[in-house]
Structure 1
Amino acid sequence: MTSGRTWKLYAAAMALAVAGYQLIPENGWWESCWEVAIGYAGTAAIVLGVRRLPLRDRLPWWCFALGIWSNATGIAVAIYSAEVLGWSDMPTPSDPFFLGLYPACALGLGLLIRRRDARRNWTAMVDATTITTGLGLLAWVYVIHPAAQDTGMSILGRTAQVAYPVGDLLLLAMMTRLLRTGGSRGAPFWWITGSLAAFLVGDTTWVVLGNLGDLGAHLEEVLWFRRGLDEVFLIAFTLFGIAALHAGARELGRTATPQPPRLGKLQLVALTTTSLIAPAILATQLYHGEITDGPAIVIGCTALFLLVVTRMAQLVRQVELQSRQVRELSRTDELTGLPNRRAWNDELPRALEHARRDGAPVTVALLDLDHFKRFNDSYGHPAGDRLLKEASAAWHGALRQIDTLARWGGEEFIVLLPGAGVDEARDVLARALAATPLGQTFSAGAAQWDGAETSEDLVQRADAALYAAKHAGRNQIGTSLPGESTRVHMRSSA
């Protein structure tokens, strides 16, 4: 049976099982056995589904299977503890099993995140920490702090009650971080995310019901409502199994190519909303005339402020880096990697100014590949591009370290030779001509600066010397001294 058919059959069967949960007798044993069966089915689906994966990719899924199994087992232990042992007050033997979901799934998510991201993504970590901090403050004020102060429970009971929202915050942080990873975002990715979201929605709903007092207690007594809430957890069990059985599970742990960090609209809304949680809690307590969580609000506000500042600093650095990259790209020839004409136009005036100040000679040379059009027509444009790249690399190696080679345009290149008169420049160019690859040649024109002419005039004289070399038969170097006529040097005499 193909994996495509397997996950569909499993999903259909589980959909019927979850829907049928509303129809079973109103009996705790019936309900618990139904829930445990769906939970164990999800565990089995994960274990069977990941057998198709390479061994190194199975560990995150085994962690997920352990978490689902532990949570489902907690349901069985809870009904046994309540109906047989008569234990109902927290902590009960079921709490370690229920709580086992959180570290197991968090470990699986951590392994998955590490494999999807080739390197640490600090912006994603800041975003996840910001959202978790804001919601963590909300959980502290309305869940954790009241539970910790509940004198009607033992210390172990309060510890167990506090552990649940802490576990939810751990899952929230890992889920948020997973959403900020690169890599494949196929169906398994969203089913895992949906499962985690279902666990969080279910737990949050129970917390809200507990804070609603009599209304919450009344809703819990409504059979269809209570079972509907249980079905949220059953859906969470099922989605993990569907994700593991799907063929796309192979892509889930693939390392992604690093992408520039971005701040989308949804991210901005989420970060803005969570950043406003602390002042919203403060405003609510001020409205009721009593600030009961001042220290927590101060700590939360401070942490959120520092996280926002850190995120802004990251964005500024990102913009600066991108600006620098754009500036470098605008000054670099895409094909050869050499400076382009724009970079040359910035460099030459500076070189002439240095030569004027130091009283040193400087020469500019234009190089033009001979019969380049014929080469392109004979071998094709890809071969022509390869020739340009190989020739520029060979020339660069033949020039002096202080020389600057730039692409002037098409098959034309230009060289700046500081500290060199026209004779020394001719010798350097002769070495470059000898190094030209693929049996090709170039014509060149070199002009020594007269100490007064403009950059444009100097390049124009080099161009005239190049034209003379081409007119004389190519594969030659023409030179132009200040105040003298152009001379052409055959390759053999160079």
Structure 2
Amino acid sequence: MKLPVRIHCVLAPLVIVLCLLLPEGLPRAVLNTLIGFACAGLVVLGVHRNRPRGAAAWWLIAAGVGAWTLGDALYSYLELVLGISPFPSVADVSYLAAYPLLTAALWSFVRSRTGGRDREGVIDTAIISIGFALLSWIFLMQPTLADGSATVPTRVLAALYPVGDVLLLALLVRLFTSSGARSASFRLLGAGVVLMLVADSVYQVQSLDGVYSPVLDAGWLASYACIAAAALHPSMRRLTELEPSAGVAFGRGRLLALMFASLLSPGTMVLQLCLGLSLEPWAVALSSVVLFVLVVVRMSGLLARVQEQSAQLAALARTDALTGLPNRRSGDAELHRLQQEAVAEGRPLAVAVLDLDRFKSFNDTFGHPAGDRLLSQAALAWTAGLDGTGAVLARWGGEEFLVVLPDRDLAGAAAVVDALRARTPLGQTFSAGVAQWDRTETLAALVARTDEALYEAKHAGRDRVVTAGAVPAAQQPVPPRPSQQQPSPRAAAEPPAQPVA
């Protein structure tokens, strides 16, 4: 933490306590106003010292704090100097102007951090904001508008304050649900806005009963001090940086916040019943419907994301990460599938194993990154060469590749594989063994014969394709011997022997 922030964090609490210790009246009002304007000036100082990329949001923050403080100054002047009622008055114009300035600043932070993305964050913000908007309507706005002792313009003006608080809360929640680092400046700014909302909401509740607690001044002054500290801290530059990912993880805290917000509608009705207040069924019903729809949309989005991630994981399990080809497991599955098709349709099937020549020497000479490039480029080149043949190319392991060639006899398969030699990149060569399935051997035996042919190609000097011979007679499956209980066809044709007399 830099020196200006340390000095501010030490002096600000002392000055706030001094302000509260002063007797109510003009001295306290003057010091209160000076603290507010000083905090707005410190925000400007923080912008000049730290030079963030998106300075406009911080200028709006400074203007919002300044407008709120100007409202305090006008309010105190009308009440303490002129002795007239400060509500409604020109002070309300300054107070109400602070809300759009601060909300615009928070919106600018959100846009800078998310780039306008993050649909899930918008839905979460709507869920939480609607829940608190219902509370504000029932306990603040509706009683204010129903107050028959005040004129209609006065009631509407008083109701604009909770509307501004709800708007500011919505943008604060949207900021909290955005991506980006939770830096010291981020936390200080959030704490400042929260203190401002709490103090403002308590003041509005007390004003319904004509009560005002001077302790609330501490809440507003503390909010100004936190916002000033956020601007002075060097991490304030990161508040306007675009993050590569939108939104934050859907953790337990976010889930609990959404659950609490979703229960605010029925919980508000329960609270009204417990307090003996008149019910607001239409407000509760409408907010419940909107919240239900938003929760369903949010859950459907989560489900779609889970399904997408599941598909990605399944693809990763089947694919070789380096070459993008099917891995050995997928190659086995494809070989089995094509064998079943060959059995069902009576078609030939051949298998080849390709092995890059002297791959270890290539790695030792040019390095492992070059070896990886060779593998990936060979996979691309061979895939292009097999296009239209119906063959399946898979990475078998290391520098070995499996090629399954349906509808190809031994000579045709060898010709297809031999044509790939010219496509091998970086001037490298490969050796290959090719074998045709004899329709009786197991797939393991077929691959074993292919490997033997590959070894022959290696021993013969590499850079060639060798075909495997037929399965030796000794390895052919032996037909089962006729059972002793079942007569041979010839014995069945002969008449039974007559018993000897």
Q: For structure 2, list consecutive stretches of 5 or more residues without a partner in the other structure.
A: 474-501
Aligned to 2:32: 35
Q: Separation in 1 of the partners of 2:265 and 2:52?
A: 45
Instruction: Check whether the contact 1:36–1:76 (CA below 8 A) recurs between aligned residues.
Output: yes
Moved more, 161-170 or 439-448: 439-448
* Aligned equivalent of 1:18: 16
Aligned length in residues: 472
Measure, in 1, the Cα distance between the counterparts of 2:43 and 2:391.
Answer: 63
Q: Partner residue of 2:494?
A: none
- In structure 1, C-alpha distance between the alignment counterparts of 2:269 and 2:16, rounded to whole Å: 41
| 2:151 alignment partner in structure 1 | 154
Sort the Cα spacing of 1:126 and 1:481 in 2 relative to 1 into closer, same or farther, 3 A.
farther
Asked if structure 1 preserves the Cα contact closer than 8 Å seen for 2:53 and 2:237, the reply is no
Instruction: Tell me the distance in 2 between the aligned counterparts of 1:357 and 1:190.
Output: 67
**SS of the residue 1:407 aligns to:** strand
Deviation at 1:341, TM superposition (A): 1.2
Name the residue aligned to 1:337: 324
Q: Which residue of 2 aligns with 1:296?
A: 283
Match of 2:126 in 1: 129
Matched, 1:247 2:234: yes
Name the SS of the counterpart of 1:384 in structure 2: helix
Instruction: Please give the secondary structure, in 1, of the residue aligned with 2:215.
Output: helix
In the alignment, residue 39 of structure 1 is paired with which amino acid? G
Alignment correspondent of 2:200 = 203
Q: Which residue of 1 aligns with 2:296?
A: 309
TM-score by length of 2: 0.87
Letter of the aligned partner of 1:279 in structure 2? P
Asked whether the equivalents of residues 21 and 227 of structure 1 are also in contact (C-alpha less than 8 Å), the reply is: no
Match of 1:489 in 2: none
Deviation at 1:259, TM superposition (A): 5.7
Is 1:143 aligned with 2:140? yes
Q: Deviations over 1:226-278 (max 9, x none)?
A: 44321111111122221112111111111112167532221122122222221
Match of 1:470 among 458, 463, 471: 458
Superposed displacement of residue 286, structure 1: 3.7
Superposed CA RMSD = 2.5
> CA 1:56/1:439 → structure 2, altered by over 3 Å: closer, same or farther?
same
Mapped to 1, the partners of 2:70 and 2:441 lie a distance apart of 89
Question: Aligned to 1:445, which of 425, 429, 433?
Answer: 433
Residue 89 of structure 1 and its aligned partner are, at CA, apart by 6.0
Cα distance per residue 1:118-155 (max 9 Å; x no partner): 45212111111111111111111111111111122222
Give the fraction of aligned pairs with identical amino acids, expressed as a percent: 38
1:437 is aligned with what amino acid?
Answer: P
Q: Hey, what's the Cα distance between the residues in 1 that align with 2:420 and 2:82?
A: 92
The 3 A distance-change label for structure 1 pair 285 and 4 is: closer
Aligned equivalents of 1:259 and 1:422: distance in 2?
54
Letter of the aligned partner of 1:34 in structure 2? L
How is 1:345-494 mapped onto 2 (pairs within 5 angstroms)? 345-401=332-388, 402-451=390-439, 453-480=441-468
Task: Tell me, yes or no, if the aligned pair for 2:75 and 2:86 is still in contact at 8 Å.
Answer: no
Please give the TM-score of this superposition, normalised by the length of structure 1: 0.88
Q: 1:179 to 1:289 in 2, by over 3 A?
A: closer
Q: Is the 8 A contact 2:352 2:404 kept in 1?
A: yes
- Bigger shift: 268-277 or 391-400? 391-400
The answer to whether the 8 Å contact 1:443/1:476 transfers is yes
Q: Which moved more, 1:435-444 or 1:170-179?
A: 435-444
Change (3 A) 1:54 1:345: farther
Task: Tell me which structure has the larger Cα radius of gyration.
Answer: 2
Report whether the alignment pairs 1:236 with 2:223: yes
Distance in 2, Cα, partners of 1:420 & 1:264: 54
Contact 2:269 2:279 in 1 (8 A): no
Residue 33 (structure 1) shift = 1.8
SS of residue matched to 1:365: strand
Answer yes or no: is the 8 Å Cα contact 1:118–1:257 preserved in 2.
no
Unaligned runs of 5+ in 1: 221-225, 486-494
Greater mean alpha carbon deviation, residues 127-136 or residues 398-407 = 398-407
Distance 1:387 1:335 in 2: 11
In the alignment, what sits opposite 2:483?
A: none
The match for 1:283 is 270
Paired with 2:54 and 2:407, the residues of 1 have a C-alpha distance of: 61
1:40-89 Cα shifts (integer Å, max 9, x gaps): 11221222221356675111111111111111111111122223454426
Tell me the alpha carbon deviations over residues 383-409 of structure 1, each in whole angstroms, 9 at most, x when there is no partner: 433332233233333332443321111
**1: CA distance between counterparts of 2:319 and 2:270?**
55
Indicate which of 61, 65, 86 corresponds to 1:64: 61
Q: CA deviation at 1:329?
A: 0.8
1:207 positional shift: 3.3
The residue identity in structure 2 corresponding to 1:265 is R
- Pairs within 5 Å for 1:98-109: 98-109=95-106
